[in-house]
Amino acid sequence: MNNETLLKNLRNVPDFPIPGIQFKDVSTLFKNAECLRLMVDELYDIYKDKGITKVVGIESRGFVVGAALAVKLGAGFVMCRKPGKLPAETRKETYMKEYGKDTIEIHTDAITDDDVVLLHDDLLATGGSMKAAYNLVQQFNPRKVYINFLIELTIEGLNGRSVFAPDVEISTLMKI
């Protein structure tokens, strides 16, 4: 979709968190009311007829638009968090990052086999954290799982989509 207003308001932070990385800072989109509305409206248009019953936001930037979208869709919102952040019993999934292992968790009662789930996060780069979230949600045997990102990095060598099976439906609002 590459909405010009969103692209114009996206901040690029050079050399963060390490030298050579061009960090895409979505906080500039969240603080701008027009951009926030545009993102939620565009996502709503994509998913309004999919029967979404739960939106799962990936910590932490996935919480912002994910929760707003859940409200608009009339769906519940579920947090997928780092270890030790959720207070009740959880399921876990560990995955490899560029610089080591990481783990995400979700409450054991968060999703049922009757749910249609939308997994949401801010950025698709290597796909590691979302693939872990996808594997975690699949343990609940939901009816269907969709995946969405605000931004997909198309830098050669990343190809985050490749970690998912071809039949997994993935959408992004911006490709950069």
Q: Catalogue the active-site residues.
A: 61, 98
Residues for the chain: how many in total?
176
Q: Is the peptide bond before 60 cis (omega within 30 degrees of 0)?
A: yes
How far lies 77's CA from each of 65, 69, 115, 117, 159, in Å?
11, 9, 12, 10, 28
DSSP reduced 3-state for 82: coil
DSSP code of residue 113: T
The answer for residues whose C-beta is within 8 angstroms of residue 109's C-beta and 6 or more apart is 88, 89
The answer for residues whose C-beta is within 8 angstroms of residue 27's C-beta and 6 or more apart is 11, 61
Quote the CA–CA distance of 176 and 154 in Å, as a whole number: 6
Contact predicate 119/145, CB 8 Å: yes
